[in-house]
Chains A and B, each alone.
Chain A
Amino acid sequence: MIRNLSSLFSPLRFFLAVAFAGHPLAADELSYTTYYFGDNSQNSVFTSSISISKTVWRSTLVLMDVELDQISLPPILDGVSGASRPQRQEGQVYRKNRGQVILGVEQGLGSDTRVAASVYHSEEADYLSRSLIGSFTQELFKKNTTFFLKGQYSLDSVGEIPRVGNLVYRFKEVHQAGVALTQLLSPVSWIRLGYDGMRQNGFNSDPYRHLRVNTAPGAAMPIYEETREAHPKIRFRHAAWGDYAYSFADLDASVLLHYRYYWDDWSIDSHTFGLRGNKYVTPNWIISPEYRFYRQGAANFWRENYSSENSMPYLTGDYKLRDFDSNNAGLGLTYLFKGMAETRPSLDFLLGCSLSLKYFRYFNTLDFYADVIEGRLLFNF
């Protein structure tokens, strides 16, 4: 069973940029986020990120985000592994850095319409990603309904550091569109429905991932041949989802529910259920337990073992394309500085500021588990 992380950061880099396209640019905000990830295969990631958004003139807002990742993978112990790392350094701990910059601008057109555009660039030793992102937001019916549309074009250069020789690049183009509609249901509840679609065209495999094909099926002793994975060039992906939030005003608490149905033309489909509670334990402290359940089916070309008997055009060593369930349970704690600001006029600037910490454990039915710690300091100015 291939249970190593296929790649910590190489595929689908554009999700970051997508997240930003969908992120409502809060006015005049500065945040620092740090994130630590460690799993039971000794992979680790340490991330630091700084974001700033500032109104520069009337309703024009600019955004900049800089993020740095330090990634560390353990030495490969056997010759065949799902780990994504150059084979050149397979006998030692592999470390690499990744940098990312997002620059964006948002323009308000009247009080109910906003358009935003941003560019995204991410770079590391063997991966380059560039994106153009646009979004449109329209408030309707006295801001009771919000329509949100986003589009994105990405071009990824998927690099491979070979055993000998120079870096080899392969390419992947991604077109993406998303739409979301948010409706206030009452002074204490809202619902949001959305659809995201994506078309990937190009090199959809991992250049380092190899798998074994039994070339002597039926023989007493199987004979394995190492080969690269081969995924279809095109992938159409879809996600339909809904969020619901309800505030228990008397309890100073809220509950947020999430459901997503995903399907693609590789025959994968999945269901995601999410549940989060938030509760003020004091006027300045919020405690937020959360739980997420995920279940997915396998891609039509995924096999536990490949053999030359039934030769297939596509082979994969990616565990993300097989069927599995995962669970994610976490606990967050947020401190709002407003209490401090209200009692001391000299600390007025802390009014919209907060410090958040969160821990969660992710585990799936493939014997994989990971611990994640996140911290965020947010200033509104």
Chain B
Amino acid sequence: MKNSCLSKWRILARRFSAVATAAGAAFLWIQLSGCAVVEPYQREKLSDPIMDSGNSIAKQSLEAKFFSTREGSFGGGKGVGGGCGCAK
């Protein structure tokens, strides 16, 4: 019982570290691959409503509710940034 519990934790830890490593590697790749800095005045297209992931036409939370009450999963798709970058 103890062993199976331990191995379950090991699997979880391995999966988590794999995800964390992938995310870290992706971030480093983005930062180091010479991605040009996008200046604040170059964000006309990025600030357009059609580039907003939250612009799922209706409120995102209603869709999150819809899927989470009909499927066994959760999470994903929430975050900020990527838009105008304007300073208010």
Contact = CB atoms under 8 A, between A and B. Distances in A.
Interface residues of A, number: 108
Interface residues of B, number: 59
A372 B70 CA distance: 13
A336 B57 CA distance: 12
B75 A186 contact: no
Contacts of A299: 72
B57 A249 contact: no
Interface in A346-381: 354, 356-358, 362, 364, 368, 370, 372, 374-376
Interface string B30-70: 11000111111011111011110111111111101111111
Given A9-B69, A185-B35, A190 B75 contact: no
A243 B53 contact: yes
A192 B82 contact: yes
B10 interface: no
A276 B82 contact: no
A247 B45 contact: yes
B76 to A, nearest CB: 4
Contact of A253 (B19, B42, B50, B59): B50
Contacts, number: 256
Interface string A97-135: 000000000001001000000000000000000000000
A321 B72 contact: yes
Interface stretch (A153-161, A212-220, A258-266): A258-266
A76 interface: no
A74 interface: no
B30 A260 contact: no
Contacts of A144: 37-38, 85
Contacts of A224: none
19 contacts: A15-B68, A16-B61, A31-B59, A47-B62, A142-B39, A145-B81, A184-B85, A188-B45, A191-B26, A193-B23, A240-B22, A243-B79, A262-B74, A268-B73, A276-B56, A278-B50, A280-B50, A334-B55, A375-B58
Given A19-B65, A368-B70, 6 more contacts: A11-B69, A182-B82, A265-B12, A270-B71, A334-B49, A358-B56
Interface of A: 5, 7-9, 11-12, 15-16, 18-24, 27, 31, 33, 35, 37, 47, 49, 51, 59, 108, 111, 137, 139, 141-146, 148, 150, 178, 180-188, 190-196, 198, 236-241, 243, 245, 247, 249, 252-254, 256, 258, 260-265, 268, 270, 272, 274, 276, 278-280, 286, 288, 290, 294, 296, 299, 320-321, 326, 332-334, 336, 354, 356-358, 362, 364, 368, 370, 372, 374-376
